[in-house]
């Protein structure tokens, strides 16, 4: 997503936009670099649910403050996640999954890319909202978890739509529902989990642009207008939608409010589950 935006930003500004992928530690490495950068608009961050929604509670010693150390620029897009199961589980709906999980508590395993990841917390939210007990199997990466799900070593996963689609189309996995609050245009026949039997359930992986704290109102507004214009262009909308993403393009104020609400929401889930990353 950062690369898609970067190309268009370079074209619009006639200036190079370099995407520097600093992976590791749940996104804290790259995020800290931006938190400590000069707030002149030349160093910005593609943040997400992990860096600014989950990590503030998951890490005891987070090397940045998700609110105080950043200037919110815009909510870029939300990304559809999907509840997929291995065909051997023999359930066709969310209600059937819940019934089976209640009949055999703790015997159905779900995978994730690691403890505290979005997929892990989405499943734990499902456990709570549906009053079931699915068993977590953490992996060192989402790809490893998906491989074992396709192979039948685990039974289900809350995965992003883009990586799940090939397996759904080939019938190696069966999709039960999307985790978002509304249906995805990419898979319009799939109900939401809320529609399928768990009222109020909603979790979305999201992405947004941040800059260091203290950036001037003028530069903030310029960055916001530029990025929002790109997101609203038909070509960008179509490319993001094809990847299971819903382009947003919000005001800085609306995005900052979204971040605060996500920190509060996931704080309650993380404390209830009792997990820590350090």
Separation in Å, CA 41 to CA 51, 52, 71, 207, 259: 20, 19, 10, 18, 20
Question: What's the rounded Cα separation, in Å, for the pair 278 and 88?
Answer: 36
Residues counted in the chain: 278
Question: Using one digit for the tens of pLDDT, what is the confidence trace for 176-210?
Answer: 999 998 898 888 999 999 999 999 999 888 999 99
State the angle between helix axes of 142-151 and 161-169 in degrees (0 to 180), rounded to the nearest 10.
20
Question: What's the rounded Cα separation, in Å, for the pair 178 and 180?
Answer: 6
Question: Using one digit for the tens of pLDDT, what is the confidence trace for 89-98?
Answer: 999 999 999 9
**DSSP label at residue 134:** P
Question: Using one digit for the tens of pLDDT, what is the confidence trace for 212-252?
Answer: 999 999 999 999 999 999 999 999 999 888 777 889 999 99
Question: Using one digit for the tens of pLDDT, what is the confidence trace for 145-171?
Answer: 999 999 999 999 999 888 898 999 999
Q: What is the pLDDT of residue 278?
A: 63
Q: What is the DSSP string of 98-114?
A: HHHHHHSTT--EEEESS
**Which has the closest alpha carbon to 87: 198, 179, 175, 177?**
175
Which domains occur in the chain, in start order? 2-77+204-273 (3.40.190.150), 81-178 (3.40.190.10)
């Amino acid at each position: 997503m950062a690369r898609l935006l970067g190309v268009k930003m370079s074209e619009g500004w006639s200036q190079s936009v370099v995407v520097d992928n600093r992976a590791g530690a749940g996104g804290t490495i790259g995020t800290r670099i931006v938190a400590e950068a000069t707030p002149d608009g030349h160093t910005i961050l593609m943040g997400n649910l992990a860096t600014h929604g989950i990590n503030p509670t998951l890490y005891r010693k987070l090397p940045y403050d998700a609110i105080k150390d950043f200037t919110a620029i815009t909510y870029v897009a939300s990304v559809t996640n999907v509840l997929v199961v291995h065909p051997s589980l023999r359930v066709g709906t969310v209600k059937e999954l819940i019934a089976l999980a209640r009949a055999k508590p703790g015997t159905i395993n779900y995978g994730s890319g690691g403890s505290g990841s979005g997929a892990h917390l989405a499943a734990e939210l499902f456990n709570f909202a549906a009053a079931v007990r699915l068993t977590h199997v953490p992996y060192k990466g989402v790809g490893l978890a998906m491989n074992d799900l396709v192979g039948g070593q685990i039974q289900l996963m809350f995965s992003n739509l883009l990586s799940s689609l090939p397996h759904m189309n080939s019938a190696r996995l069966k999709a039960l529902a999307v985790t978002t609050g509304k249906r995805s245009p990419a898979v319009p026949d799939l109900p939401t989990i809320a529609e399928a039997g768990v009222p109020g359930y909603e979790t979305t992986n999201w992405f947004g642009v941040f800059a260091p704290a203290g950036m001037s109102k003028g530069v903030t507004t310029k960055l916001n207008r530029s990025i929002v214009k790109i997101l609203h262009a038909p070509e960008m909308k179509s490319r993001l939608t094809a990847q299971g993403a819903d382009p947003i393009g919000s005001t800085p104020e609306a995005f900052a409010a979204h971040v605060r609400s996500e920190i509060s929401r996931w704080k309650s889930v993380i404390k209830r589950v009792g997990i820590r990353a350090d």
